[in-house]
Chain A
Amino acid sequence: MRIALFITCFNDTLFPRTGQAVVTLLERLGHEVVFPLEQTCCGQMHFNSGYHDEALPLVRRFARVFADEQLIVSPSGSCVAMVRDHYPHVARESGDPELIEAVRTLGERTFELTELLVDKLGVEDVGAYYPHRVTYHPSCHALRMLHIDDKPLRLLRAVRGIDLVELPQAEQCCGFGGTFAIKNADTSIAMLDDKLRAVAQTGAEICTAADNSCLMHIGGGLSRQRANASALHLAEILASTEDRPFGVPQSGGASASIAVVRA
C-alpha cells in the first residue's frame, strides 16, 4: 500500500530517527512510503497557543500538500488530532468553503502510526525485537482525542524480548502541553515530577509513547535527574530487529546523536 508520511516539523528537525524508524518499519511490512517534501508544519503549535490567524495558512498548506494522498501516517498523536479534530474548526472559522471541503476527508485519511498498523493494516506483531525493560506513557491527545486505547500496548506486547511494565497513574498528563511547559513552568514541572517518579517506580530503562513532544519533556526531566532511564518513541522500538536494532538512546530522549548499532 502507498502510504504518505507526515513527519511533523518537530520530528523532522529534532527527532529524525523516529521518521527513519517509521520508514524502516512500513517498508519491512511491504508498503511503499512516500514523503511529500513540500510539507512543513500542521499548525498545531500556533492553534493551541492561541494564534489562529497564523495557523490558517499552515492548515491550507497541509491540505494542499496532502490533497491527493489516500493514506497518511504520522508518528505524532497530537498532530494527527490537530488534523482530525481541529482542522474542521479552523476551516469553519475561516469561512472558506473550499478549505472546509478540503479538510473534510483529511481527518479520515490521516492516521497516527499505531492506528494505521492495528486498524488499517491489521497487524499487531510487526516482527520487532527489543530486549529491554519498557514502560508506556499514553500521551493525552492520542488517548483522549484519537482514542487509540490499547493499540500501542498491543503492538508492544507482540515485540519479542521486550519486558513491558505497566506505568502507575499512566493516564496522568506529563505536564508538557506545548507553550504551557514554559508559560506555566512551575505547574508543568510539578506534573512532570510525578510522572518521573512513576517511571522510576517501574524500573524501566525506556519510557515510550506515541508522541515525541511528551517524550522530549519526560526525557528532558530524566536527563536532568541523571536517571537510569530514557525516553524513546514507540516507532523506534517497533522498527528494531535482531539484525538492525535501533539502539538505546542517551538519557534525554534525542536519539539522533546515536549511531545505529549494527549487530
Chain B
Amino acid sequence: MTTSASWADVPAFPLAAKAALADTQLRRNLGKATSTIREKRIGVVEEMPDWEPLREAGRALKDRTLRHLDRHLLELEASVQAAGGQVHWARDGDEANAIVTRLVQAKGVDHVVKVKSMATVEIELNEALEAAGITALETDLAELIVQLGRDRPSHILVPAIHRNRTEIRDLFRRTIGPATLTDEPAELAEAARRFLRERFLRARVGISGANFAVAETGTIAVLESEGNGRMCTTLPETLITVCGIEKLVPRWEDLEVFLQLLPRSSTAERMNPYTTLWTGARDDDGPREFHLVLLDNGRTTSLSDELDRQTLACIRCSACLNVCPVYERTGGHAYGSVYPGPIGAILTPQLAGMRAAGSLPFASSLCGACYEVCPVKIDIPTVLVHLRNRSNKERAAASLRGKLDPERLALKAVAKGFATRGRYERLQKLGRRGQWPLARGGKITRLPGELGGWTKARDLMPIPDQTFREWWMEREASR
C-alpha cells in the first residue's frame, strides 16, 4: 500500500506534540474553537429527550450492518446499477485512485471539482490526479484554504481550524485575490464564492465522498453547510463518489437516526443546511453518469477484529476531537494523519499499521470524554488500550530494541513481583530503601531515564516509612 492514512514525514506523537504545544497562537485558536462548539453541542443534545436511545439505535444499526456487510454491499451494488449508476471496487487507495483517474481521463477533462471528503484525502486522490495532469479543486471553504496553502487538514470537520482569519486573508490575497481583501469573514467568504462559482459552472466532472450509502435504494447522502456540495453533485455531467465500505446503511429509514445524530454532534446544529441525496443517474436531471467507487483500504482488516470493528461505526462527526483535552492542546497535525484526535488515534493505526502510527494509541490520558459524546457510542478508550497491547506486542516481536524497551521490562518485572504477597512486600521495602539517592530534602525533584518525564514539571513525594499493610498488621498485633 503506497497510500495510507498516515503521513510519513510527521514524527511520533510525543515529538510532534512537543512542537505543536509551543505554538501559543495555535493553542489559543483551538481552545477558543473547541470550547465554543463543545458548549453549543451540549445545548442541542440536551434539548433532545431521546438522545440516549438515538445513540443506542445508531450503534445497533452500525453493529448489525457491519456484521452482514458482505451481503449489504452486494445489495448496494445491485441497487446502484439498477438506478443507472456504475459500481467499482477498490481494494486499496492505489486502486481507487487509478479507477478515478481513468474515469476522469475518459471524459477528456483536466479539471474536476470536489466536495469535501475524508476518504479521498485518506487515499491522497488529489495528488494522484495531479500526477496524471488533472487539477482537482476543493470547494469546501476550509478545504480550499488548506489546498491553496499547500497545507494539511487538522480537523475532520474544520480542516483549517489551525488558521486564523489574518492568515487566511494573506493566503487569499496571494492566491485568489483581490489584493485589497480585509480579514472580515464575510469578505473572505465572498472572495471564495466568486472564485468557486465560475469553476462550478465550467466543471464537467465532480468528485464527492459519501456520508451514507443506502443499500436498498442505492442512494448516496452528503451532508454539508455551504452548498458547495450541492453544486458539485448536481452541475457536472459526471459524478464520481468515493465511499468507504463502512458508510453503508441497509435501509432508507435508517437515515432517520443518523440525520439526527450527525449534525448535532458535528456542527452542533439541529439540522445541517444542505442534505443532498441522489440515486443513480438520469438524463433529465443532475449528472447523466454516476460512478460509485467502494473503498476498502484496510477496512476489512478492522472488521475482522471484534474490538477494532466498532471503529468502522464512525460517522466522522468530530465531536470526539472537540472534547479531547489532548487534541485541544496539540491540534490535529501532531497526529500525522488525515484522521486526528481520539478517533484518529484508533482509526489511523488500523488503516496504516503500527509501524506507521504505533505512537497514536498512547496519545491519550484515557479520560473518556470522547466515548461520552460519541453519537454511535464507540468505546474509544477500550479500543485505545486494545491497540496499545497490539502495538507493544508488535514492537517486541519486531526487534531486540522493542524487546528490551525499559517500560516493557519494568512492567514485566512488576507483574512478576506482584504475583505473590511475599515478593510484593519485599518490593515495597526495596523501593523504600532504594529511593534515598533521589529523595533528598523531603521530595523527589529529579528522576532518571524515561521517568524524568515526570519530574520535568512535577515533584514526587518519597515512599513513606510505613506501608498501609504494615500499619494494619501493627494495629492488629496490638489489639
Tell me whether A and B are bound partners: yes
- Give the docked Cα–Cα distance between A12 and B463 (Å): 10
- Stretch from A50-58, A115-123, A129-137, A151-159 forming part of the interface with B: A50-58
Given A181-B454, A252-B461: A16 and B415 within 8 A (CB)?
A: no
User: A219-234 interface mask toward B, CB cutoff 8 Å, 1 = contact, 0 = none?
Assistant: 1110110000000000
Given A14-B461, A191-B365: A184 and B419 within 8 A (CB)?
A: no
Q: Which residue of A lies closest to B419 (CB)?
A: A57
Cβ-based interface call for B25 (8 A)? no
Say yes or no: A257 contacts B464, CB within 8 Å.
yes
Say yes or no: A16 contacts B468, CB within 8 Å.
yes
Say yes or no: B392 contacts A50, CB within 8 Å.
yes
Given A49-B411, A220-B454, A220-B458: A186 and B21 within 8 A (CB)?
A: yes
Say yes or no: B472 contacts A183, CB within 8 Å.
no
Cβ-based interface call for A9 (8 A)? yes
Cβ-based interface call for B408 (8 A)? yes
Least CB distance from B327 to A in Å reads: 10
- Stretch from B158-166, B170-178, B367-375 forming part of the interface with A: B367-375
Say yes or no: B458 contacts A40, CB within 8 Å.
no
Say yes or no: A14 contacts B385, CB within 8 Å.
no
* A residues less than 8 Å from B325 (CB atoms): 172-173, 175, 191
Cβ-based interface call for A241 (8 A)? no
- Give the docked Cα–Cα distance between A12 and B421 (Å): 13
Our pick among B329, B445, B461 for the contact of A254 (Cβ within 8 Å) is B461
Least CB distance from B360 to A in Å reads: 11
- Give the docked Cα–Cα distance between A181 and B366 (Å): 11
- Give the docked Cα–Cα distance between A145 and B371 (Å): 10
Say yes or no: A187 contacts B363, CB within 8 Å.
yes
Say yes or no: B329 contacts A187, CB within 8 Å.
yes
Cβ-based interface call for A7 (8 A)? yes
Given A40-B424, A179-B407, A254-B462: A141 and B453 within 8 A (CB)?
A: no
User: B378-411 interface mask toward A, CB cutoff 8 Å, 1 = contact, 0 = none?
Assistant: 0000100101111110000000000000011001
Cβ-based interface call for A165 (8 A)? no
- Give the docked Cα–Cα distance between A50 and B329 (Å): 24
User: A157-188 interface mask toward B, CB cutoff 8 Å, 1 = contact, 0 = none?
Assistant: 00000000000000111011111111111111
SS of B interface (majority): helix
- Stretch from B11-19, B140-148, B207-215, B284-292 forming part of the interface with A: B11-19
Say yes or no: A183 contacts B368, CB within 8 Å.
no
Given A183-B14, A190-B21: A12 and B468 within 8 A (CB)?
A: yes
- Interfacial residues of chain B within 178-193, with CB under 8 A of chain A in the complex: none
* A residues less than 8 Å from B367 (CB atoms): 140, 144, 173, 177
Our pick among A7, A140, A175, A183 for the contact of B469 (Cβ within 8 Å) is A7
Q: Which residue of B lies closest to A258 (CB)?
A: B464
Our pick among B17, B362, B371, B382 for the contact of A186 (Cβ within 8 Å) is B17
Cβ-based interface call for A45 (8 A)? yes
Say yes or no: A55 contacts B365, CB within 8 Å.
no
Cβ-based interface call for B450 (8 A)? yes
Say yes or no: B412 contacts A51, CB within 8 Å.
yes
Say yes or no: A50 contacts B388, CB within 8 Å.
yes
* B residues less than 8 Å from A37 (CB atoms): 421, 469, 472-473
Q: Which residue of B lies closest to A55 (CB)?
A: B415
Our pick among B365, B389, B473 for the contact of A180 (Cβ within 8 Å) is B365
- Give the docked Cα–Cα distance between A201 and B269 (Å): 33
Our pick among B17, B365, B371, B391 for the contact of A177 (Cβ within 8 Å) is B365
Least CB distance from B363 to A in Å reads: 6
Say yes or no: B366 contacts A221, CB within 8 Å.
no
- Give the docked Cα–Cα distance between A193 and B390 (Å): 32
User: A29-69 interface mask toward B, CB cutoff 8 Å, 1 = contact, 0 = none?
Assistant: 00000010110110101111111101101100100000000
The 9 closest A-B pairs by CB, nearest first: A254-B461, A50-B388, A177-B365, A256-B464, A185-B453, A220-B458, A173-B367, A54-B415, A144-B368
Q: Which residues of A approach B to under 8 Å, CB–CB?
A: 7, 9, 11-20, 23, 35, 37-38, 40-41, 43, 45-52, 54-55, 57-58, 61, 86, 89, 140-141, 143-145, 171-173, 175-193, 216-217, 219-221, 223-224, 250, 252-254, 256-257
| Interface CB pairs A-B, < 8 A, 7 | A12-B428, A19-B471, A52-B389, A54-B415, A183-B407, A216-B461, A220-B454
Q: Which residues of B approach A to under 8 Å, CB–CB?
A: 13-14, 17-18, 21, 27, 325-326, 329-330, 361-369, 371-372, 382, 385, 387-392, 407-408, 411-412, 414-415, 418-421, 424, 428, 431, 442-443, 445, 450-451, 453-454, 456-473
